[in-house]
Structure 1
Amino acid sequence: MHQLQRAAESYPSPTMNLRGYDDVDSLPESLRGWAKTNPNEGLHEFQTEELHVAVVPTDTGQGQAFVVFDVAGIEAASSEDWWLLLLITGVVGTLGALGFGLGVLVMRRAVAPVAQLARVVADIDLDQRSGADHKRIESSRFGDDEVGVLAAAIEKTLDRISEFVERERNFTAAASHELRTPITVITGAIELLEQSDLSADDVRALDRVRRATLDMRTTIEMFLSLARETDDGLYSEHFLVKPMVCRAIDQQRHLLNGKSVYVDVDDLAGPEVDGHPQAFFIAVSNLVRNAFEHALDGQGPITITIKERELLVANQVSSCADGRYGAAEPLSSDGYGLGLGIVQRLCERNGWSFSLNVDDARVAACLSW
């Protein structure tokens, strides 16, 4: 239609391969009847005859002239172009799909050794590592490329971990015997001395030795509990909380000698806990010890509240103690008995939680289970 417009504008000398007609009788027979109706100037399309006709005025002003454009050949060429474009699109799409599939295949083949190495590492049990596991992880099985380098690094790391676990087992087994034996001997000696006729000064000295021995036993049990890789089935015991608290208070009460401080124990629920009783007692004893050591004369009471899911140990703080308790890192082990950081580790090891809240009036340690 655009070509026909250009031809009509150049009439009576059309520059394209079109035919111009000055009168109606010279038009093709299929257009004569239409032309006699005196059509409006402009472009007209006849789809049945596949003709486009432009009606233009003549220079003499007499009648109308007609420019006829046969579009049958052009439409046929356009149809052929469409099929050609469709063919090109199909070829390009097929090549794109083949390229994508080939890329995925190459990527999978490249990643396959890494995935195999990951599965092998995931299946290795460090506690029961065998010779077959060592052969499966050998770097020589993965070539000299980047995967082989990674396999070699993992192989060395696993060897170091296995050696460390073995050393840890040997140490805890030896320490459990070698450290407990002298404590047992000292405890037996203390019991024998208690049966002797001692002076008042000797009795006080013996009490200090007994307390130091008890503290040493607790410390050994705590560190062995933290260092031991397995629990040996001791973490499934069922025990009451209040007897643990009362025992810790009795053991640490000597720290309140000479202080006018009252200890208030409030058992609100009488809870029971499933877990490691020795680890729980160590944590409770450390919290009680810290509270007793930092309690000031005449500033009390120290409140120990036992709830269904938590134990709260709180004592008041004076201005001279604010600097110690109000540090930026309250879980630091400096100056807090065996260390609140160790209590934190015990709780993490046994699935409990520990928090320390400090304000202007008091310090409150909370142990939750």
Structure 2
Amino acid sequence: MTVRPRASLARAFSTDRLPGYVGQLLLLAVVAWLLRHGISNFIGNARSLGVSMGFGFLRSEAGFEIAQAMIPFGPASSYRDAIVVATLNSLLVIAVGSLLATLIALCVAFGRLSAHPLIRGASTLYVEVFRNIPMLLQIFFWYFSALALLPGVAESLAFGAILLNNRGLFLPRLLMTPTAAWASGAALLVFIALFHAVRAGLRERAGPRVLAGCAVALAALCLAPLALMHGQFGLDRPAAEGFNVGGGFVLLPELIALTLGLSIYNGAFLAEIFRAGILSVPRGQAEAAATVGLTGARAALLVTLPQALRLALPPAAGQYQTLAKASSLAAAIGYPDIMQIVGGTVLSQTGQALEAMALVVVLYAAINLVIALLVNVANRRLLKAERR
């Protein structure tokens, strides 16, 4: 038998890896040249036009109002405050839209797997209709058609302390002194710490009912000291005052229309993702749940859903990120989000186009990275619980 000589290390490197390294270096050189050429061209054009560069404008006075602000904001506030307000408004839409889309998707996913033909047909119709209509068109429908039919302020629909009219949804707002706010935060932290300690001590010996009872008991224990401070809490109820509504906290029609459009559209795609995850769970799991007395909704929530989420969460993360990026469509109906305020008002008033759009890109990228991180953490916890 003839033994072939082993190729030298230098020859193997030159024939296998060197071409790849050379190609990567060439690509990096081309990208670096394009970036350098583009940046130098932009700087040259900015200097010729007399445009200043930098983020110093963030400290300047904004000089405009924002229709919805979760923190105090006025014309005397800075552009930095305007960016914070716009970011909070975007996060509000994304959080509420994601929650509502998840609830819709779970109901529709189980509905498509229902044995009842009417429920199965309605769920299938929902998926096939809403995922094939453009999202912007759905937002326009809710904003210009559905919400426009709401009554005026004088004929507001009252649901207890909640008012609904064509100006928006007015909710009561909790008022508290700084001392009460600190005490509430401390009570929340104590509740979280005690609940985790009780849950770790019980381990698998406690079922959902026992944990729920412990949570209620701990919540009552932590809230009892706050009852002694009842004079430092108040409730600001909305009330119709002529042609406007005073008091409370308002959810603008733009916010409602945007949330409905995002949640209904993305809920159709999430429903198919969750349905695929549910179908991946072996049928024997449901049969095993039935043998121990778990049927219907309890078996779905306690047995099927936790196993389905393990496979559904990774693709669902991409859909949640799509929802977050699609929230920039708020600019089409005038909702004061990141795109509307930073990429619109701030850009037009300051003329800092590169800086403003860079902030928009960074903010949306950060939000999407946080969503991916949260979904990965949830997925790891599911995998860890499954290995027990």
Q: Normalising to structure 1: TM-score of the pair?
A: 0.19
- Normalized per residue, the structure richer in strand is 1
Higher helix share: 2
The structure with the largest alpha-carbon Rg is 1
- State TM-score, norm by structure 2: 0.18
Structure with larger RCO (C-alpha < 8 A, sep 6+): 2
